[in-house]
Amino acid sequence: MAYSFDMELVNCIPNLQRYACKLTRDASSAEDLTQDCLARALSRSHRFEPGTNMQAWLTTMLKNLHFNNLQRDKHVTKVELWDHAMSVEPSQLSRLVFRDVDRAFDSLTPCQRKVVRLVAIEGRPYQEAAEKLNVSIGTIRSRLCRARERLNTLMAA
């Protein structure tokens, strides 16, 4: 009777699956690992020497594949996706929001727009804005407060 690599390989599968489960502690990962090991064994069947221990050869291959996967996974960030992860906000919505903010900003008085631009948009300190506009810090605070209230009212409507 001729040597059959495939038959000997098939006989080793149950032990490989058990070992893969033990290594991965996850049935799905164990299936993947076993399948990878069998694919590698078939692609390297010419390296197996008939008469040696195939179970040991496959077990070593499985273990090495597992540790290689662990090493590779250290350098890869895994992201879990859920059902709505792929949904993207329509671009029209952001354009509408931008349009509404622009209109609300335009509805402010020129003095309020200057203060909002200096303090809220450019991030300048109140003192610098007061010096630039030749008004007191109290006036800056008052205009900014009224401008924010007006913007909040318009955006809520």
33-79 per-position pLDDT tens digit = 999 999 999 999 889 888 899 999 999 999 999 999 888 888 777 66
pTM of the entire structure? 0.48
Three-class SS string for the chain? CCCCHHHHHHHHHHHHHHHHHHHHCCHHHHHHHHHHHHHHHHHCHHHCCCCCCHHHHHHHHHHHHHHHHHHHHHCCCCCCCCCCCCCCCCHHHHHHHHHHHHHHHHCCCHHHHHHHHHHHHCCCCHHHHHHHHCCCHHHHHHHHHHHHHHHHHHHHC
Arithmetic mean of pLDDT, 123-134:
92
Per-residue pLDDT tens for 135-157? 999 999 999 999 999 988 888 87
127-142 b/e (C-beta count within 10 Å ≥ 16 → b): eebbeeeebeeebbee
Is the pLDDT at 6 greater than 90, yes or no? no
**pLDDT recorded at residue 133:** 92
pLDDT > 50? residue 13: yes
d(CA 152, CA 140): 18
Residue whose entry in the numeric block shows the structure tokens 């090495």: 64
> What does the mean pLDDT of the chain come to?
86
Q: How confident is the model at residue 15 (pLDDT cuts 50, 70, 90)?
A: very high
- In order of their start, the domains of the chain are 5-73 (1.10.1740.10), 100-156 (1.10.10.10)
pLDDT at 83: 60
* Distance between CA atoms of residues 54 and 42, nearest Å: 12
* Residue recorded with tokens 């931008």: 98
